[in-house]
Structure 1
Amino acid sequence: MEIYFSEEIIMDIHIRLPVQSLLRFKCASNFWKTLTSDPYFKLCIPSNHKPHRYVILCCCDGLCLLWSYGGAGYLLWNPSTNESVQLPEHGYPYTTRATPSTYRLAFDSINDDYKILKIDNKGSSTSFNKIFALKSGCWRNIGNHCRGFVNNVCGEEDSLAFVRGAFHWIGKDNLSRHFMISLNISNEVYGEISLPEGICNIHGSQICLERDISVLQGMLCAYRTHLSPRDCTFKLWVMKDYGVKESWTELFSIRGPELYQNIGLQMVKCYSTSVCTKMRG
């Protein structure tokens, strides 16, 4: 027997959901798309700050970290309640176009706290990453990895993959060897995870256009796009057992002349959406 809910009940349920869920539900049916397109669900600027030019740096659990060019600085914003908290400054969020900063917001379940990680992409091996804990209300420098490294992420939030209570991203040591860095969000201790062999092996006249990691169905994944004289190739691997190098499995490889740099995250998201659709079907 089918169960029907009135529009008022469905509306009451939807307004309690985080923004990411609302955007997904727009694809569920025409009725839900129309419902969530109602002006009531439209996002507006934080009510307790004057209008400025805002940039969304990262999101987690319906919370958004914003940067305002108009002087308000960093804001942690809840779009559902339209409330925001101004965070202390630590410097401009983008150093130069060549070395932008990447941010990631995550929940620390051990300490019951939200934390923000900020790293400078492709910066000096002597530069320090920063972390912000909402409870303490301040930014802190965190020590570097024992090997010393240069951050090598693409500048997207998803490049700081969050799995098993830790941030993950690709670094490069002083000998130009790539490896995956992990940073436990609770004790703020660095670790290291091996990358799949194929992601670093570039032969002959091949040129690596991008090399990065993300999250796929709750598992770490790694991808690479490289250019050869004839075409481009995109490869995707997934780590089925966390921390076990031997569990890296190549999911697929795509070759074609129309592939381009920064296609990696789009391919991961498309594959994830396809898998979810098949599971629902």
Structure 2
Amino acid sequence: MPALPFEIVEDILRRLPVKSLKRFRAVAKSWCFLIDSERFAKLHLQQSLISNTNRSLILGGLGLYRIGLDSLEEAEVIKPPFYYRSVDGISNSCNGVVLVMCEPAVLWNPFSADFKVLPECSDGSPTEVELYPRTTYGFGYVSRTDDYKVVRVVEFRHKINHFWMYAESSIYSLRSNCWTKIDSFPYPLPFLRGHWRVHVNGALHTLEISDLMDSARIMAFDLDTEKHNELTMPPGIQARNFDLNLDMIGGCLSVVCSRRSRVIVWVMKEYGVKESWTKLFSISFPEIERDDFLKLLVYSQDGNRVLLNCDDKRLVWYDLRKKTAEKVCVEGIPFVFYAEACVETLISPDSSGEVKKLQHVETKRSQEKRKVQKIRNKRDDFLSEGFKLVL
């Protein structure tokens, strides 16, 4: 049977899950070099995003777990290949890479097992003894420069009332592999968790609510320009009437509005366009339990359902057409957890592996050149001796 053209082999491989691709590296050297290449990793990511496949949930809180979204049948324990202090420190996912918020922080692809320990970032010290520091992280991707960036904000709050006083900020670039001081964030970040997970359109977003709890605004920090700007809220939403939370679903910014036992979800269909705010769905008891805190995770592959994390205790599919909710039973899932939706990729946060591969290729080329030159030298010597014998 004749071998398939390499272009067809590549097209088939880029549709497969990461676990299979890792095994197929052993088939042939050409397959290994293809699968390990940065170009193929980007093609594989693009194919997964287009087809809405190769998706998983990463669960944390009481250990780390992976659940395949295609089946949602069993939770698989994940053991990171590096030391970390807390399993409750995983950020949002960008192209399959997550930020592990330990000291020092780590960029990690839980599917390929590649990771990079970030350089240490020096902390500031409070200028007054009644203040204490609190560190918050953000993580995102800049498509223009093909760069991953980590934002580290050290907020200084009052020890008694926890009021935000001021902040010191730094940003890390994977491309340059260094931290840089940036202008201080002029507004407080989410207080309860050490990161803000709403990364949309190359910007990190947070919901700022005034101390009087009567107004709210969406603030965005652009990772490329390193500038702050404000986005409009959905129409008719006021902080005094709702418990508001910012979220992301299907690459779109969303606002989750809770009031008593009813939850309304708004989605910004076109980023930055206030007229594109659309009410996605409204849900209430008995579809969810009273006072449930809802987090949006991911659409189903056909786009007709939304997977919800209800109060960090249950996974629920909500059908957008039938307006019904169905509890998801997953074997081995912990009784309390937080969840992040991820696309399985080969994207590596550690560029040294690619450098080593390039060095290996260059070494082989040099060896081949030396081998060819050696053969030429022997041929020249043979011809030279033959010429002497004739004379």
Measured against the shorter chain, the TM-score band is 0.5 to 0.7
Question: Does 2:139 correspond to 1:139?
Answer: no
Pairwise mapping of residues 100-119 of structure 1 onto structure 2 (< 5 A)? 101-119=135-153
Q: For residue 166 of structure 1, what is the aligned residue in structure 2?
A: 203
Q: For residue 297 of structure 2, what is the aligned residue in structure 1?
A: 269
Pairwise mapping of residues 184-203 of structure 1 onto structure 2 (< 5 A)? 184-203=222-241
Give the residue type in structure 2 aligned to 1:63.
Answer: V
Give the residue type in structure 1 aligned to 2:187.
Answer: F
**Structure 1 residues 243 and 78: CA distance shift in structure 2, 3 A:** closer
Q: Structure 2, unaligned stretches of length 5 or more?
A: 1-11, 24-34, 36-43, 46-52, 58-66, 124-131, 156-161, 307-391
The 1-side partners of 2:147 and 2:274 are apart by 31
The 2-side partners of 1:236 and 1:81 are apart by 34
**Structure 1 residues 256 and 247: CA distance shift in structure 2, 3 A:** same
Q: Secondary structure at the match of 1:150?
A: coil
Instruction: Identify which of 215, 220, 232 aligns with 2:253.
Output: 220
Pairwise mapping of residues 34-73 of structure 1 onto structure 2 (< 5 A)? 43-46=78-81, 49=82, 51-55=83-87, 56-58=89-91, 59-68=93-102, 73=104
Q: For residue 259 of structure 1, what is the aligned residue in structure 2?
A: 290
**Structure 1 residues 99 and 217: CA distance shift in structure 2, 3 A:** farther
Aligned residue pair count? 239
Q: Residue deviations 1:38-69, cap 9 Å, x none?
A: xxxx74332xx5x554534223223232245x
Question: Does 2:225 correspond to 1:178?
Answer: no
The 1-side partners of 2:225 and 2:69 are apart by 39
Q: For residue 95 of structure 1, what is the aligned residue in structure 2?
A: none
Q: Residue deviations 1:227-280, cap 9 Å, x none?
A: 3xxxx221111112322223222223233383325x221xx226x33863569x
Q: For residue 78 of structure 1, what is the aligned residue in structure 2?
A: 109
Q: CA contact under 8 A between 1:14 and 1:22: conserved in structure 2?
A: no
The 2-side partners of 1:14 and 1:242 are apart by 36
Aligned-residue sequence identity (percent) comes to: 24
Q: CA contact under 8 A between 2:135 and 2:194: conserved in structure 1?
A: no
Q: Residue deviations 1:166-189, cap 9 Å, x none?
A: 222112457763111111111111
Q: Secondary structure at the match of 2:138?
A: strand
Q: For residue 269 of structure 2, what is the aligned residue in structure 1?
A: 240
Q: CA contact under 8 A between 2:136 and 2:189: conserved in structure 1?
A: no
Q: Secondary structure at the match of 1:12?
A: helix
The structure with more radius of gyration: 2
Q: CA contact under 8 A between 1:163 and 1:219: conserved in structure 2?
A: yes
Q: CA contact under 8 A between 1:113 and 1:133: conserved in structure 2?
A: yes
Q: CA contact under 8 A between 1:224 and 1:235: conserved in structure 2?
A: yes
Q: CA contact under 8 A between 1:99 and 1:120: conserved in structure 2?
A: yes
Q: Structure 1, unaligned stretches of length 5 or more?
A: 93-97
The 1-side partners of 2:269 and 2:277 are apart by 6
Q: Residue deviations 1:12-55, cap 9 Å, x none?
A: 3476778x93637835369xx79x97xxxx74332xx5x55453
Q: CA contact under 8 A between 1:233 and 1:253: conserved in structure 2?
A: yes
Cα root mean square deviation, aligned = 4.2
Q: Secondary structure at the match of 1:127?
A: strand
Larger RCO of the pair (alpha carbons < 8 Å, separation 6+) = 2
Q: CA contact under 8 A between 1:153 and 1:212: conserved in structure 2?
A: no
